[in-house]
Amino acid sequence: MIDFNKFAKYSKPGPRYTSYPTALEFNESFDDKAYIKALQRHTKLPLSLYVHLPFCKSACYFCGCSVIYTSKEYKKVEYIGYLKKELDLIKQYIDTNREVLQFHFGGGTPTFYNAKELEDVIKLIYNTFGNFSKSAEISCEIDPRFFSEEQMRVLKDYGFNRLSFGVQDFDSKVQQAIHRIQPISIVETAINLARKYGINCINFDLIYGLPNQTLESFKTTLNDVLKLEPTRLAIFNYAHVPWIKKTMRKIDEKMLPSPQEKLEILKYTINYLTSNDYKMIGMDHFALESDELYQASLKGELKRNFQGYTAKKHTQTIGLGLTSIGEGHDYYVQNYKDYEAYKKALDSNRLPIQRGIQLKGEDNLRKNIIMKLMNNFILDIKHIENKFNINFKEHFKDNLQKLDEYINLGLVSIDDDYIKITPTGAMLVRNIVMVFDEYLVSQDGRFSKTV
Ligand SMILES: C[S@@+](CC[C@H](N)C(=O)[O-])C[C@H]1O[C@@H](n2cnc3c(N)ncnc32)[C@H](O)[C@@H]1O
Ligand code: SF4
């Protein structure tokens, strides 16, 4: 029996580790020139393309994404022009015939673009990168409130084979509090449309920790979700950062569930989904047993990048558009978040890089450890020792002392060969991997809470 009171104390600020080092360590000394050098150095890996389409019609109060709220048609069209400029620049520094394994549209709301505009953006990508793998993952985030058959047809025509729907929560009180009214019928219509066009890989994004949410209300949401049979589920922990995102200030903090309630929701969610044919495949993520992600997780081969989880080989991610993040094996790079700065750079024929980081050896080592544990809940110590030529237990003596706390709670086990995170430990995986983060001391208080 789990005593949640014991774990509630772990509700403290902490990174989600979509990157290591985290974005707080990115700095402006890694500029467009540093990025060009990195592009010229990295010539081998297959590519993963991320295209950020930032526009949304109205604000969902919980939203932590990089969004521009607008209803102005010309802004959307202007943005496509800038994407073209960016692609024209980037193709000078990269072999565009390298194989593309992934292509993802994120946002914002990509389907805020109408079918014709969506086609224009997709064509820009296909006209630049010519070598898409036959098994490429081609995916798009869909806001079910803005999704038409014309848009679906375009996505299908251009090979999209995975769609991710923003569902969040079906409870009407929660929907009111987050300013996103989206009855089940809207989601059902959107899913049916996707299935009609042969899209079998369907992900739902849900969030726990939203205002007005209770264990009971989330049970009902989960029950309704399963009736729609998504193949994958991302169940995000609500990241409440009103000091960064102004719209979150509209959320009444008194209505947020407590850390203890959130842990109860998470525990219930894990039990409920795993007894209904879904497997937990990494932090916040579940997939049906038949899904390739589950198969990869069994082999400890699941990877995660800014597009989410993948069973594919390592890739180099090229980020395109406002705020997007790119990644190579030894660097991260991020485009401007400010639209005017993004446009200004491109108008003067510069890649619109705001910041990034060049990883040093120790970063690479710790990145490997943190990502393996986050994605697969298991670390092969011998593999790390051979790859980085270290004695693991000596090198991480201080870090491993901090791990003792979690070992004593039965959340982690360690022997000579493996560190393993237990199913209960998986709920606190962010806290557990934080013991390997070299930068945390200077960053306290700048992240959302881990629970
Ligand atoms: C970039 S959004 C795009 C999805 C699409 N625009 C929509 O809303 O349907 C991707 C997902 O991030 C998640 N998300 C956004 N803000 C979040 C936050 N503050 N905490 C946790 N998850 C969040 C939501 O589940 C959302 O569906
Ligand atoms: S959750 Fe989606 S639709 Fe809502 S504001 Fe964020 S990106 Fe836009």
DSSP 320-379: ESTT-EEEETTEEEEE-SSHHHHHHHHHTT---EEEEEE--HHHHHHHHHHHHHHHHSEE
Structural Rg of the chain based on CA atoms: 21
Give the ranges where 109-237 is alpha helix by DSSP (H). Answer: 115-128, 149-157, 172-178, 184-196, 215-227
At 88, phi and psi to the nearest 5?
A: -60, -35
Examine residue 451 and state whether it is found in any structural domain, yes or no: no
Examine residue 345 and state whether it is found in any structural domain, yes or no: no
Mutational test site, ligand 2, from 76, 109, 147, max ligand atoms within 8 Å of CB: 109
Query: Is the CB of 56 within 6 Å of ligand 2?
Result: yes
| Residue 178, CA distances (Å) to 61, 66, 183, 214, 408 in order | 5, 17, 13, 15, 39
* Residue 415 CA, ligand 1 centroid: distance in Å: 38
Whether the pLDDT of residue 76 is over 50: the answer is yes
What's the pLDDT score for residue 441?
Answer: 65
* Residue 196 CA, ligand 2 centroid: distance in Å: 25
Are 184 and 46 within one domain? Answer: yes
What mean pLDDT value characterizes the chain? Answer: 92
Query: Is the CB of 369 within 6 Å of ligand 2?
Result: no
Query: Is the CB of 63 within 6 Å of ligand 2?
Result: yes
Domain boundaries, position 386: 360-438
What is the percent of the chain with per-residue pLDDT over 90, rounded to a whole number? 79
Query: Is the CB of 60 within 6 Å of ligand 2?
Result: yes
Strands lying side by side in the sheet with 418-421: 378-380, 418-421, 412-414
Tokens 């009736």 belong to 227
Confidence of residue 290 (pLDDT cuts 50, 70, 90): confident
Query: Is the CB of 110 within 6 Å of ligand 2?
Result: no
Are 160 and 209 within one domain? Answer: yes
Closest C-alpha among 270, 264, 279, 213 to residue 2: 264
List the CATH number of the domain containing 395: 1.10.10.920
Examine residue 391 and state whether it is found in any structural domain, yes or no: yes
* Residue 29 CA, ligand 1 centroid: distance in Å: 30
Are 292 and 425 within one domain? Answer: no
d(CA 7, CA 447): 19
Are 314 and 364 within one domain? Answer: no
Tokens 């910041």 belong to 355
Are 246 and 312 within one domain? Answer: yes
Whether the pLDDT of residue 225 is over 90: the answer is yes
Which of 320, 342, 377 terminates a domain? The answer is 320
Which of 320, 351, 381 terminates a domain? The answer is 320
| pLDDT, tens digit (0-9, with 9 covering 90-100), for 171-200 | 999 999 999 999 999 999 999 999 999 999
Whether the pLDDT of residue 77 is over 50: the answer is yes
Average pLDDT (289-299) is 85
Give the residue, by CA position, lying nearest to ligand 2 atom 6.
63
Query: Is the CB of 61 within 6 Å of ligand 1?
Result: no
Examine residue 410 and state whether it is found in any structural domain, yes or no: yes
Query: Is the CB of 65 within 6 Å of ligand 1?
Result: yes
Query: Which is higher by pLDDT, 444 or 251?
Result: 251
What's the pLDDT score for residue 256?
Answer: 97
CB hemisphere CA count around 4 (13 angstroms): 13
* Residue 93 CA, ligand 1 centroid: distance in Å: 32
* Residue 367 CA, ligand 2 centroid: distance in Å: 29
Are 308 and 387 within one domain? Answer: no
Whether the pLDDT of residue 254 is over 80: the answer is yes
Ligand nearest to the CA of 245: 1
* Residue 46 CA, ligand 2 centroid: distance in Å: 30
Are 220 and 136 within one domain? Answer: yes
What's the pLDDT score for residue 282?
Answer: 80
Whether the pLDDT of residue 292 is over 90: the answer is no
* 369, 371, 372, 375 alpha-carbon torsion, rounded to 10°: 160
Helix-helix angle 215-227:259-274, to 10 degrees: 30
Domain count for the chain:
2
Query: Is the CB of 143 within 6 Å of ligand 2?
Result: yes
Ligand nearest to the CA of 68: 2
Atom of ligand 2 nearest to the CA of 58: 5
Q: Is residue 113 classed as helix, strand or coil in its secondary structure?
A: coil
Are 310 and 364 within one domain? Answer: no
Query: Is the CB of 284 within 6 Å of ligand 1?
Result: no
Query: Is the CB of 53 within 6 Å of ligand 1?
Result: no
Are 82 and 225 within one domain? Answer: yes
Whether the pLDDT of residue 419 is over 70: the answer is yes
Examine residue 326 and state whether it is found in any structural domain, yes or no: no
Cα–chain-centroid distance for residue 347?
A: 30
Query: Is the CB of 182 within 6 Å of ligand 1?
Result: no
Examine residue 215 and state whether it is found in any structural domain, yes or no: yes
Average pLDDT (16-27) is 93
Average pLDDT (4-18) is 72
Are 49 and 120 within one domain? Answer: yes
* Residue 354 CA, ligand 2 centroid: distance in Å: 23
Query: Which is higher by pLDDT, 9 or 420?
Result: 420
Task: Report pTM.
Answer: 0.92
For residue 286, which amino acid is it?
Answer: F
Mutational test site, ligand 2, from 57, 66, 67, 70, max ligand atoms within 8 Å of CB: 67
| pLDDT, tens digit (0-9, with 9 covering 90-100), for 304-361 | 877 778 887 789 999 999 999 999 989 999 999 999 999 999 999 999 999 999 999 8
Examine residue 155 and state whether it is found in any structural domain, yes or no: yes
Are 223 and 372 within one domain? Answer: no
* Residue 57 CA, ligand 2 centroid: distance in Å: 9
Examine residue 338 and state whether it is found in any structural domain, yes or no: no
Are 132 and 58 within one domain? Answer: yes
* Residue 112 CA, ligand 2 centroid: distance in Å: 10
List the CATH number of the domain containing 222: 3.80.30.20
Query: Is the CB of 291 within 6 Å of ligand 2?
Result: no
d(CA 338, CA 322): 7
- What contacts 369, CB < 8 A, 6 or more positions away? 379, 384, 433, 436
| Residue 47, CA distances (Å) to 126, 316, 336 in order | 13, 5, 21
| pLDDT, tens digit (0-9, with 9 covering 90-100), for 133-182 | 999 999 999 999 999 999 999 999 999 999 999 999 999 999 999 999 99
Average pLDDT (241-255) is 95
Give the ranges where 197-308 is alpha helix by DSSP (H). Answer: 215-227, 259-274, 292-298
Are the C-beta atoms of residues 347 and 337 closer than 8 Å to each other?
A: no
* Residue 264 CA, ligand 2 centroid: distance in Å: 26
Give the residue, by CA position, lying nearest to ligand 2 atom 1.
63
What's the pLDDT score for residue 450?
Answer: 67
Query: Is the CB of 186 within 6 Å of ligand 1?
Result: no
